[in-house]
Amino acid sequence: MTPKNMNQNPIEDVLEELHFTKAQKEGFWKFLNYAKTCQETGNNKQLKSQLEEVVRDVVEKE
Amino acid sequence: MRKNNIMKINYIKYHNYRCFKDLTVKFETTSNKNISLVMGVNGSGKTEMLFSFQWVLYGFNFKSMREKEETPYSLNSTLYHKLEVDRHANSVDCWVELSFTNKGTEYFMKRTETFMRLNDKVSSKVKVELSHTESNGERTIPETNKDIVEELLSRIIPRSILEGITFDGERMKKLNIVGDQSIETIKNVISLVTNEKLFELCSGEIKDVNGDIHKEKMRINRQAGNVSAEELEKEIVELEGTIDDKDINLHGIKTNQEKVANKLAEISIKLSELKDAEELEQKRKGLEKDLERAKKNFEQTTDIFYKRLSDGYALVTDQLVGDVKQSLENVDIPAGLTVEAVKSILKRPKCICGCDMNADVVRHLTEMLSTLPPDNISSTLLYMANQFEGEKKRTGNLLKDAYKAMKSNEDEVASIKAQLAEIAQSLITNVSETVRELGKEHDEQLQLKGRLLQDEERCYRDKDKAEKRLKEAKAELQAESGNQEQLRVLNAQQNLLGLFKKAIEKIGERNSELSLLSINDYLSKAYMLLSEDSGRSIYLCQHEKKEKYRLVTYVKSKYDDLRIRWTNSGELRTLKDEGLSESEIHEKLVLRVAEGKSTGQSKVNSLAFAKAILDYSNEDRAADKLNVSHDYPFLIDSPFTELSGKNLENVAQYIHTFANQIILMADDKSYSGVAL
């Protein structure tokens, strides 16, 4: 198994395995990407509120 | 590699920065020639230059530099010491400007630190400026807000990545020294390129938010108390029933109050009427007394009348009196002339005829005395006749009066009797008794009214209380419903967070495993490229999952032999049955055949690891959507030191494959080997 094959889309695979709905997937990606921006900027102040917003939105949609 | 994400360093300028007074170093690279070589003897400032990249972008803690603790500041040490000793020294600026191109845009990052003497101590302040060229080629006005600059920079080259692509000699050494330092160094590097920190960050936030939700749920539960919605609903039904009952009671009370009011009004009217009757009664009593008096008067006057009659004076007739007087006219002595009368006249100064009592008159009268009889019958009779006549008149008058009085009293009695008969007609019943009865009834009605009022007040009070509680209960029920809804939402949020947590853990775990496999694959390839010994291989071992890393080299034939033995003995099967993954089994085998390293070999290992890390971080992993992949330049200090032979040759030959831009620091000696 080559690394390329293994890295096809590990995150999506996991989300599929855990039976994420479309809204949950969108929310998860939104949070993850925001977390990445926060990590890069070193500014995590808004991450918590962003996660709260994501969770609220997803639950509202579901 | 994705060409659109290439980052390239153009130049770096120094002014009074550490060992560089005024210097500009340009890094001109092409696709064919991507290495910029910075050569210099030991202590000439190669490592300083490496760290200056970090300083200009994010600042740098000079105290962390080995054996550099004596000059932990950016300013040139000579200038710094001068500032320390010279009281009149002016402030001194030191700055570094870095030009780099990212995605086609040229950026200019300048960090200036101004040193000054303040209260006999040297202090400094830092200023940052970030600008870029616009499409028309003009440079923008620099952004100087430190936070904004850092944010902008982090979008281009995050601090973590910068540390991951800057390999100084110390870090290279650390990679290969088996011990806590190497483990920590590798762990940090791996952590940087495999997004471990990102997943840790995500997990932390998920835990944090989950904790907040848990607290909120606790708060709601505390607020709700122990009363359930069912109990509240039951209470509301009961309260509504109570209010209805109270309304019925109040209606009854009001009806009774109306009745009482009517009754009282009725009694009042009756009493009012009876008041007139009472007055009549009083009048009747007065009349009765008057009647008594009138009767008495009538009886008295009647008695007087009859007494007059019985005295006989009323029987003297006028004929009798006339006859007596006629008889007396025939007598010669005037009636009434008596001795006593003459004597009486003689005592007077004048005669009864009006003449003066002279001597003649006196003599005449005296003579008369002697001629008069001792008793004058005529006079007596006349006197008696006159007396009778007078008495008759008086008696007649008395009888008239008596009759009149008797008649008047009789009339009065008759009148009073008539009035009494009239009053008696009006007062059929006993007025006082009725009034008393009515008064009693009035009092009873008033008492009843009072009781009804109390009942009404109590009813209203109970109703108000029930209504108030009903309102509260409804609000509580609503709040309870709201709470239930809130709790439902919070539970859903917690479930989602749980799912996110699970995903993060799994992704992190898988990412780590995949990253490790991927890095190991790149490591193996890099090692094959750089190492002189093709019979050996390298493996980045991970003990206790994600906690410890170690670079291990091994002889491939020994590994193969052991694997065959384990296969034959069934040990491999056992390990698989125990749930170990292929990479874990591989790691176990590698560790069994691991061998020590020579210094030169260690350097190759470090370089292979650096290349693997760069290859991995530059790998196109767009599929994971995190877009962490980026082609960064590679900055390395002394890569050829301690290398020789084929190893040196390989590193020299393939180092250009490490990244699209390589800034390489080397000393004369090590590079001379490469040049050869």
DSSP B69-90: TT--SSB-HHHHHHHHH-TTPP
Residue B85 or residue B603, greater confidence = B85
Residue range B618-648, pLDDT digits in tens:
765 544 545 445 677 888 887 777 777 888 8
CATH of domain B3-186+629-675: 3.40.50.300
Q: Nearest residue of B to residue A37 by CA position?
A: B155
Which residues in chain B are contacts of A17 at CB distance < 8 A? 506
Confidence of residue A7 (pLDDT cuts 50, 70, 90): very low
pLDDT, position A3:
37
Judge: B626–A9 Cβ closer than 8 Å, yes or no: no
Distance from CA of A26 to the nearest CA of B (A): 12
Tell me, yes or no, if B215 comes closer than 8 A to chain A by beta carbon.
no
Per residue in B228-251, pLDDT (tens digit) is 778 888 888 999 998 999 999 899
Enumerate the residues of chain B whose CB falls inside 8 A of the CB of residue A12: 623-625
- What is the H or E stretch that residue B113 is in? strand B105-118
Which candidate from B154, B489, B521 shows the least CB-CB separation from A59? B489
CA distance B173 to B252: 101
Q: Which residues contact B106 (CB under 8 A, 6 or more apart)?
A: B10, B99, B100, B132, B133
More confident position, B662 or B428: B662
ipTM: 0.92
User: Do B202 and A35 count as a contact with CB atoms less than 8 A apart?
Assistant: yes
Model pLDDT, residue B380: 64
CA distance B422 to B287: 11
**Does residue B157 sit in helix, strand or coil?**
coil
Tokens of B306: 């009859």
Chain B residue closest in CA terms to A24? B496
Q: Is B507 in contact with A11 (Cβ distance < 8 A)? A: yes
Q: pLDDT by residue (tens digit) across B18-60?
A: 989 899 999 877 767 788 888 888 888 888 888 899 899 988 8
Please tell me the predicted confidence (pLDDT) of residue B305.
Answer: 73
Name the amino acid, one letter, at B282: Q
| Torsion on CA atoms B465, B467, B469, B473, rounded to nearest 10 | 170
B383 touches chain A (CB under 8 A): no
B507 with A59: Cβ contact below 8 A: no
Chain A residues whose beta carbon lies within 8 Å of the beta carbon of residue B489: 59
Which pLDDT score, from 0 to 100, does residue B176 have? 58
* Band of pLDDT at residue A39, cut at 50, 70 and 90: confident
Poorest-pLDDT segment among A24-38, B127-141, B509-523:
B509-523
Of B106-110, B156-160, B219-223, which has the strongest mean pLDDT? Answer: B106-110
Query: What are the extents of the domains in chain B?
Result: 3-186+629-675
Cβ–Cβ below 8 Å for A52 and B209: yes
Q: Exposed e or buried b for every residue in B447-475, given b needs 16+ CB within 10 A?
A: ebbeebeebbeebeebbeebbebbeebbe
Determine the pLDDT at residue B493: 93
The answer to whether the Cβ–Cβ distance between A32 and B518 falls below 8 Å is no
Between B629 and B495, the more confident residue is: B495
Residue of B nearest to A3 (CA): B518
Res. B13: pLDDT tops 80: yes
**Sequence-ordered list of residues with C-beta below 8 angstroms from that of B396, at least 6 positions apart, any chain:** B314
More confident residue, B254 or B376: B254
CA distance A50 to chain B (A): 10
CA quadruple B202, B207, B213, B215: dihedral, nearest 10:
-150
Which residue is associated with the tokens 């999952």? Answer: B545
CA B289 to mean position of chain CA atoms: 87
**Chain A positions with Cβ closer than 8 Å to B:** 1-3, 6-15, 17-18, 20, 24, 27-29, 31-33, 35-44, 47-48, 51-52, 55-56, 58-59, 62
Rounded to an integer, what distance in angstroms lies between the CA atom of residue B31 and that of residue B675?
Answer: 21
Q: Is B573 exposed, middle or buried, given 0-12, 13-18 or 19+ CB atoms closer than 10 A?
A: exposed
Pick B625's closest partner by Cβ from A8, A29, A51.
Answer: A29
pLDDT value of position B596: 66
Q: Is the pLDDT of residue B538 over 80?
A: yes
Q: Please indicate if any CB of chain A lies within 8 Å of the CB of B401.
A: no
| Cβ burial, residue B61 (10 Å; 0-12/13-18/19+) | exposed
What residues 278-337 of chain B have any CB closer than 8 A to a CB of chain A?
A: none
Nearest neighbour of B201 by CB, restricted to A1, A13, A39 = A39
